[in-house]
Every structure is written in C-alpha cells, then in structure tokens.
Amino acid sequence: MLFASAAALPLLLGTAGCRSSDAFTGPDPLAGRPPLGRDVLTLQAVIAAEENLIGLYQAAIRGGAGNGGAAGAGARTLQTLLSQHQQHLVQLKARLVVPPGASASPSPSASGTGGAAASPGPGRVDVARLRAAERASAAGLVQRLASVPPALAQLFASIAASDATHVTVLGG
Amino acid sequence: MATAPGPVSALQATLAAENAAVYGYGVAGAHLTGSSLAQAEQDWTAHNQARDTLTAMISARGAAPVAAQAYYQMPFRVHDAASAVRLAAYLEDGVTRAYLGLVAVNDQRLRRFGALAMQQAALRAAAWRGSTQAFPGLGGSVPAGPGEATRRSS
C-alpha cells in the first residue's frame, strides 16, 4: 500500500469510504491549486507598481530635453534614479517565488490599490508626473507594510525611503 | 501588563542611535559654518525631538529608556567641514538602520512609525551626502531572500 500510485489513491480512498479531503488535515492536494497568499499578491502588486515607475522614467528620458519631457531634472539625474528603481525591481522579484502553473503577472485586483504608480500611457512624462509617482509609491509601500512578513516589510520600507529621497531630488 | 521584548528592544536600539546622533551632531557642528551649520542645528533639533518621543514610547511600555553615553567614539577623525559632513551622513545612516529594525516588529503601528521616521533620516542622509541610495538602511547587502513570499492559503 505504501507504493500505491497517485492515480490509484482516490480509488483506494473511495473504497475506504472517505473523500480525499478527509485523509489530510492540510490543504487538499487533489483539489487544484490553493489561492495565492496575501503576501504574494501584495508583492506582485508592488512589482507591477515598480515596473510602471520604471516605464515612466524611461518615457521621461525618451522625451528628453527636446520636447521638454524631462526638463528641470537633467538626463543624468533621471538615469541615476531609473537605475535605483531597476535595483528595486531586481530585489522585489528575487523575493517572489512563482508557484508552478501560476502566472508571474499580477492579477488586476492585486495591483489596484495602495498608491501604485500610474501606467505611463500616452502623452509627455514630465518631472512633476515623476515626482507625483514617487510620492505615491512611497506612500503605497508604507500602506502595505502590515500585510507582509518582517523581512519583506523592511525591503518595502527601504524602497519607500529611497522613493522619498527621489521626490526631493525631483524638486518636491 | 506583560510587554513583548521585540518592540521594546527595537525601540531601545533606535533610541541609542538617536542618542549617538545628538552627540555626533554636536561634534560635526563645531566644524561647520553658514548654511551647513544651520542645517546641522536643524537636524540636531530633529534628533532631540525623536529621542524624546522614543523615550516616552519606551516608558509607556513599562521599560527604562536606555541612557545616553557620556562619550561616543567617532568612526573617523572629524577635523574639518568635509569630515563633519561625512559624519552627519554616517549618523543618519545609523539612525535609518535603527528605524528599519522597528519595521520588523509585529506591531503594525510601530512598523509604520519606523518606516516614516526612516524616510526622514534617509532624506537628511541624502542631503548631507549629495546623492540618493537605492536601499537606505539596508546598504549594499540586501538579502535576496527567495522564498520570502511563497504560495500559501490566505
């Protein structure tokens, strides 16, 4: 019986007069994927917000001084801040373990709250928009501290502090 | 009422960092003039206020706040304005790290308090250093921590 195959297990349990879920105290392994944990959803949302922020910086830098898209900050400064956001993204993604069969992309509901930066969308990205996005990101990260484990909370808080310094660099 | 040791020890560590900052700004200020001195005085005042806040928070939890030392060893020789500015940035980095410790406690209000306070310290550090950091408080050693957020039932 110790070597019964997985395919035979439901049959054996059925013969014994019990459902598979009665045999375990934990999640039913035959009932499909369990829902993602709250901290995973939170991390996915933060990753999506960071990606949006990076998109904003890239759009601002692409806009350049020619059309005034990044006027007032300097291309080099924006590159430095962009680089720090890319470092944030690397660390955030390193914390995420994507379950087999699950999508690595956050669900819409996971990214809908907490001050996530807006998608770049059409139009010019100026310094004021970057500043507002940085401010929203810092606030959103602090808001999410309660729903994650301590080490992840510290990473969120550190990134939020970095974002807060970016606001000042951008003239806030 | 029994008090969980975690929050109190994190608060004590933060208070110790603030005490060191208050002392250190006194050393730095002696070598600064003009707008730099004015900034140092403003930051010194902020650290004094933070010290008082933390002292009250620790006392409210039934513990004795850690006392300031009579003397603090400086991390390097402070002999001119440039080294004084470096010291100020160093002090703010230490305070930022200490508040980051508060973010790890389970008390949600303390987490938020620590996160907001470390933003202020990071801002002061960036002003003294003249540049921003990707991970204030964590420095260059950010643990990768794979498996931190893994699948589980909510």
Q: State pLDDT tens for residues B129-141.
A: 999 999 999 975 5
- For residues A155 and A162, give the distance between their C-alpha atoms in angstroms, rounded to a whole number: 11
Assigned token pair, A126: 């100026």
Q: Is the pLDDT of residue B98 over 60?
A: yes
How much is the ipTM here? 0.89
For chain B, give every domain's residue range.
5-129
**Interface test with chain A among B39, B97, B103, by most A beta carbons within 10 Å:** B103
pLDDT at A66: 31
Closest CA to B134 of B126, B107, A140, A39: B126
- For residues A11 and B62, give the distance between their C-alpha atoms in angstroms, rounded to a whole number: 61
A-chain residues within 8 Å CB-CB of B149? 37, 39-40, 42-43, 95-97, 148-149, 152
Could you say which of A33, A145, A168 has the minimum Cβ distance to residue B103? A145
Distance from CA of A145 to the nearest CA of B (A): 7
Domain A38-97+114-169, CATH homologous superfamily name and number:
Ferritin, core subunit, four-helix bundle (1.20.1260.10)
Instruction: Determine contact: B14 vs chain A, CB below 8 A.
Output: no
Q: Do A157 and B133 touch (CB under 8 A)?
A: no
For chain A, give every domain's residue range.
38-97+114-169
User: What CATH code is assigned to B5-129?
Assistant: 1.20.1260.10
B-chain residues within 8 Å CB-CB of A92? none
Instruction: Determine contact: B38 vs chain A, CB below 8 A.
Output: no
Q: Do A94 and B151 touch (CB under 8 A)?
A: no
Is the Cβ–Cβ distance between A162 and B135 less than 8 Å?
A: yes
Cβ atoms within 10 Å of A19's Cβ, excluding its own: 12
DSSP B2: -
Q: For each of chain A's 172 residues, which pLDDT tens digit applies?
A: 334 444 444 444 444 444 544 555 666 666 677 777 888 999 999 999 999 999 999 999 988 733 444 455 688 899 999 999 999 999 999 999 877 766 655 544 444 334 444 456 657 889 999 999 999 999 999 999 998 999 999 999 999 999 999 999 999 8
